[in-house]
Structure 1
Amino acid sequence: MSNAKSLEQLEQTQDFIRRHIGPSPAQVSDMLSALEVSSVEELVGQTVPAGIRLEQPLTVGESRTEVETLSYLKSVASKNKVFKSYIGQGYHPTHVPHVILRNVLENPGWYTAYTPYQPEIAQGRLESLLNFQTMTLDLTGLDLASASLLDESTAAAEAMGLAKRVSKAKKANAFFIADDVHTQTIDVVSTRAEQFGFEIIVGKAADAVNHEIFGALFQYPSTTGEVVDITDLIAGVQSKKAIACVAADIMSLLLLKAPGKLGADVVLGSAQRFGVPMGYGGPHAAFFATRDAYKRSLPGRIIGVSKDRLGNDALRMAMQTREQHIRRDKANSNICTAQVLLANMAAFYAVYHGPQGLKTIAQRIHRFADILAAGLQAKGVSLKHNTWFDTLTVVSDSKADVIARALASGVNFATNRDGEYSIAVSETTTRADVAQLFDIVLGEGHGLSVDAIAADIENNGSTSIPASLERDDEVLTHPNFNSYHSETEMLRYIKRLENKDLALNHSMISLGSCTMKLNATAEMIPITWPEFSNLHPFCPLDQAQGYQIMMGELHDWLVNITGYDAVSLQPNSGAQGEYAGLIAIRKYHESRGDAHRNVCLIPSSAHGTNPASAQMASMKIVVVDCDKNGNVDMADLKAKAEAVAENLSCIMITYPSTHGVYEETIREICDIIHQHGGQVYMDGANMNAQVGVTSPGFIGSDVSHLNLHKTFCIPHGGGGPGVGPIGVKSHLAPFMPNHSIINVPGTNESNGAVSAAPYGSASILPISWAYITMMGSEGLKQATEMAIVNANYLTHELSKHFPILYRGRNNRVAHECIVDLRPLKELSGITEMDVAKRLQDYGFHSPTMSFPVAGTLMIEPTESESKVEIDRFIEAMVSIKSEIDKVISGEWSIENNPLVFAPHTQGDVLGNEWDRAYDRFYAAFPVPSVAKNKFWPTVTRIDDVYGDRNLVCSCPPVETYRD
Structure 2
Amino acid sequence: MHNAPFPLTTDNEFIARHIGPREHDIEAMLALTGHGSLQALVDSVIPGSIKGTSVLELSKGQGEAEALAALKAIAAKNQLFRNHIGQGYYPCHTPTPILRNLLENPAWYTAYTPYQPEISQGRLEALLNFQTLVCDLTGMQIANASLLDEATAAAEAMTFCKRLAKSKAPAFFASRHCHPQTLDVLRTRAQPLGIEVVIGDEAALEGQGLEAYFGLLLQYPASTGAIADHGALVQRAHAVGALVAVAADLLALTLLTPPGEFDADVVLGSAQRFGVPLGFGGPHAAYFATRDAFKRDMPGRLVGVSIDRFGKPALRLAMQTREQHIRREKATSNICTAQVLLANIASMYAVYHGPQGLAQIAQRVHRLTAVLVQGLLQLGHAVEQAHFFDTVSVVTARPAADVLAAAQGAGLNLRPIDAQRVGLSLDETCEQASVEALWQVFAAPGQSLPAFVALAEGCGDCLPVQLLRETPFLQHPVFNRYHSETALMRYLRSLADKDLALDRTMIALGSCTMKLNAASEMIPITWPEFANLHPFAPAEQSLGYRQLTDELQAMLCEATGYDAMSLQPNAGSQGEYAGLLAIRAYHASRGEAGRDVCLIPSSAHGTNPATAQMAGLRVVVVNCDERGNVDVADLQAKAEQHRAQLAALMITYPSTHGVFEEGITRICDIIHAHGGQVYLDGANMNAMVGLCAPGKFGGDVSHLNLHKTFCIPHGGGGPGVGPIGVKAHLAPFLPGHAHLEHKQGAVCAAPYGSASILPITWMYIRMMGGEGLKRASQLAILSANYIARRLEEYYPVLYTGENGLVAHECILDLRPLKDSSGISVEDVAKRLIDFGFHAPTMSFPVAGTLMVEPTESESKEELDRFCEAMICIREEIRAVENGTFDALDNPLKNAPHTASELVGEWPHRYGRELAVYPLQTLRENKYWPPVGRVDNVYGDRNLACACPPMSVYQDA
Out of 503, 521, 530, the position equivalent to 1:532 is: 530
CA contact (8 A) 1:657 1:663 kept: yes
Distance 1:364 1:276 in 2: 19
Q: How does 1:862-941 map to 2 (within 5 A)?
A: 862-911=855-904, 913-941=905-933
> What's 2:128 paired with?
130
Distance across 2 between alignment mates of 1:509 and 1:416: 49
Match of residue 954 from structure 1: 946
CA contact (8 A) 1:670 1:701 kept: yes
Shift of 1:4: 6.9
Alignment partner for residue 754 of structure 1, among 747, 752, 772? 747
The C-alpha deviation readout for 1:181-210, integer Å capped at 9, x for no partner, is 000000001110112110010000124441
Q: Map of 1:692-841 to 2, 5 A cutoff?
A: 692-740=690-738, 742-743=739-740, 745=741, 747=742, 749=743, 751-841=744-834
How far the C-alpha of 1:507 sits from its partner, in A, is: 0.4
SS at match of 2:650: strand
Question: What CA distance in whole angstroms lies between the structure 1 residues aligned with 2:81 and 2:717?
Answer: 32
CA contact (8 A) 2:307 2:935 kept: yes
1:125-164 counterparts in 2 under 5 A?
Answer: 125-164=123-162
Does 2:181 match 1:184? Answer: yes
Q: Give the letter for the 2:313 counterpart.
A: D
CA drift of 1:552 comes to 0.5
Measure the CA separation in 2 of the matches of 1:773 and 1:83: 29
- Name the amino acid aligned to 2:360: T
Q: Distance in 1 between matches of 2:104 and 2:451?
A: 41
What residue is the counterpart of 1:115 in the other structure? Answer: 113
**1:3 to partner: Cα distance:** 12
Q: Partner residue of 1:315? A: 315
Partner of 1:12: 11
Q: Distance in 1 between matches of 2:916 and 2:578?
A: 47
Give 2:391's aligned residue. Answer: 391
Name the residue aligned to 1:229.
Answer: 229
Secondary structure of the 1:72 match is helix
Q: Deviations over 1:347-385 (max 9, x none)?
A: 000000000000000000000100000111122211111
Aligned AA (1:527): I
Partner of 1:437: 438
- Higher mean alpha-carbon deviation, 902-911 vs 768-777, is at 902-911
CA contact (8 A) 2:54 2:689 kept: no
Give the residue type in structure 2 aligned to 1:424. Answer: S
> Equivalents in 2 of 1:613, 1:174: separation in Å?
22
Cα distance between partner residues in 1 of 2:745 and 2:220: 24
Please state how far the C-alpha of 1:799 moved relative to its aligned partner: 0.3
Report the counterpart of residue 36 of structure 2 in structure 1. 38
Q: Is the 2:354–2:479 Cα contact (8 Å) retained in structure 1? A: yes
Q: State how far apart, in whole Å, the 1-side matches of 2:2 and 2:336 are.
A: 53
Tell me the SS of whatever aligns to 1:685.
Answer: coil
Looking at structure 2, the residues matched to 674 and 691 of structure 1 have their Cα atoms a distance apart, in angstroms, of 24
Question: 1:51: how far off?
Answer: 2.1
Superposed counterparts of 1:242-257, under 5 Å: 242-257=242-257
> 1:198-230, CA deviations, whole angstroms, 9 ceiling, x for partnerless residues?
001000012444141110000000000001111
Q: What is the CA distance between 1:450 and its match in structure 2?
A: 1.2
Per-residue deviation at 1:915? Answer: 2.0
Supply the AA of the counterpart residue of 1:338. Answer: A
Q: Which residue of 1 aligns with 2:689?
A: 691
Native 8 Å contact 2:54 2:693 kept in 1: no
Report if aligned partners of 1:134, 1:954 keep a CA contact under 8 Å in 2: yes
Say whether the 8 Å CA contact 2:53–2:696 is kept in structure 1: no
* Residue 357 (structure 2) pairs with residue 357 (structure 1): yes
Structure 1 residues 189 and 57, CA gap change in structure 2 (3 angstroms): closer
Which of 57, 72, 83 is the aligned partner of 2:81? 83
> Once the two structures are superposed, what CA deviation does each residue of 1:682-741 show, in whole Å capped at 9, x if it has no partner?
11110000100001101110000000000000000000000000000011111111112x
Show the counterpart of 2:553: 555
Structure 1 equivalent of residue 475 of structure 2: 477
Alignment partner, residue 20 of structure 2: 22
Q: State how far apart, in whole Å, the 2-side matches of 1:104 and 1:315 are.
A: 20
Aligned partner of 2:191: which letter?
E
Tell me what 2:380 maps to: 380
Distance in structure 2 (CA, Å) of the matches to 1:188 and 1:60: 39
Give the aligned length: 950
Match of 1:201 in 2: 198
* Amino acid paired to 1:12: D
The question of whether the paired residues in 2 share the 8 Å contact of 1:54 and 1:698 is answered with: no
List alignment gaps of at least 5 residues for structure 1. Answer: none
CA distance in 2, matches of 1:638, 1:182: 47
* Contact 1:803–1:820 under 8 Å retained in 2: yes
| Conserved? CA contact 1:61–1:773, under 8 Å | no
**Cα-to-partner distance string for 1:263-303 (whole Å, 9 max, x where unaligned):** 10000000000000000000000011000111111000110
The Cα of 1:60 is off from its aligned counterpart by 7.4
Counterpart in the other structure of 1:491: 489
| Cα distance, 1:809 vs structure 2 | 2.1
Residue ranges of structure 2 left out of the alignment (5+ in a row):
none
Q: For residue 928 of structure 1, what is the amino acid of its counterpart? A: Q
CA deviations on 1:628-683 (whole Å, 9 max, x unpaired) are 11100011110111001110000000000000010010000000000000000011
Distance across 2 between alignment mates of 1:753 and 1:487 = 41
The alpha carbon displacement at 1:962 in A equals 3.8
1:17 is paired with a residue whose SS is helix
The answer to whether 1:408 aligns with 2:409 is yes
Cα distance, 1:800 vs structure 2: 1.7
Correspondent of 1:95 among 71, 93, 96:
93
- 1:541-576, Cα deviation, whole Å (9 max, x unpaired): 100000000111000011111111100000000000
> Aligned-pair distance for 1:959?
2.2
Runs of 4+ displaced beyond 4 Å: 1-8
- Give per-residue Cα distances to partners, 1:830-877, cap 9 Å, x unaligned: 000000000000000000000000000000000000000000000000
1:447 aligns with 449
Letter of the 2:394 partner, please give it.
V
Does the 8 A contact of 2:257 with 2:469 survive in 1? yes
Q: What letter matches 2:938 in structure 1?
A: Y
The answer on whether the counterparts of 2:150 and 2:182 sit within 8 Å (CA) in structure 1 is: yes
Equivalent AA in structure 2 for residue 786 of structure 1:
L
Please give the alpha-carbon distance, in whole angstroms, between the structure 2 residues aligned to 1:765 and 1:485. 33
What letter matches 2:937 in structure 1?
V
Separation in 1 of the partners of 2:946 and 2:598?
40
CA distance in 2, matches of 1:930, 1:2: 45
Letter in 2 for 1:406: A
Question: In the alignment, is the contact (CA less than 8 A) between 1:60 and 1:560 conserved in 2?
Answer: no
Paired with 1:718 and 1:698, the residues of 2 have a C-alpha distance of 34
Alpha carbons of structure 1 residues 626 and 927: separation in structure 2 relative to 1, 3 Å: same
RMSD: 1.3
CA distance in 1, matches of 2:417, 2:118: 49
Identity of aligned residues (%): 58
Q: Distance in 2 between matches of 1:868 and 1:893?
A: 33
**1:510-525 counterparts in 2 under 5 A?**
510-525=508-523
SS at match of 1:176: strand
Cα deviation per residue 1:56-75 (whole Å; 9 max; x = unaligned)?
Answer: 65137420000000001001
CA distance in 2, matches of 1:23, 1:447: 67
Q: Displacement of 1:6 after TM fit?
A: 9.9
Report what 1:647 is aligned to: 645
Say if 2:54 and 2:561, in contact at 8 Å, map to a contact too: no
Give 1:610's aligned residue. 608
Aligned counterparts of 2:456 and 2:818: Cα–Cα separation in 1: 73
| Mapped contact 1:57–1:777 kept (Cα < 8 A) | no
Preserved CA contact (<8 Å) 2:54 2:559: no
Q: How does 1:671-682 map to 2 (within 5 A)?
A: 671-682=669-680
Deviations 1:448-506 (A, max 9, x none): 1111111112xxx32x1110011111100000000000000000000000000100000
SS at match of 2:798: coil
Assess if the C-alpha contact under 8 Å between 2:283 and 2:757 holds in 1.
Answer: yes
Mapped to 1, the partners of 2:224 and 2:295 lie a distance apart of 32
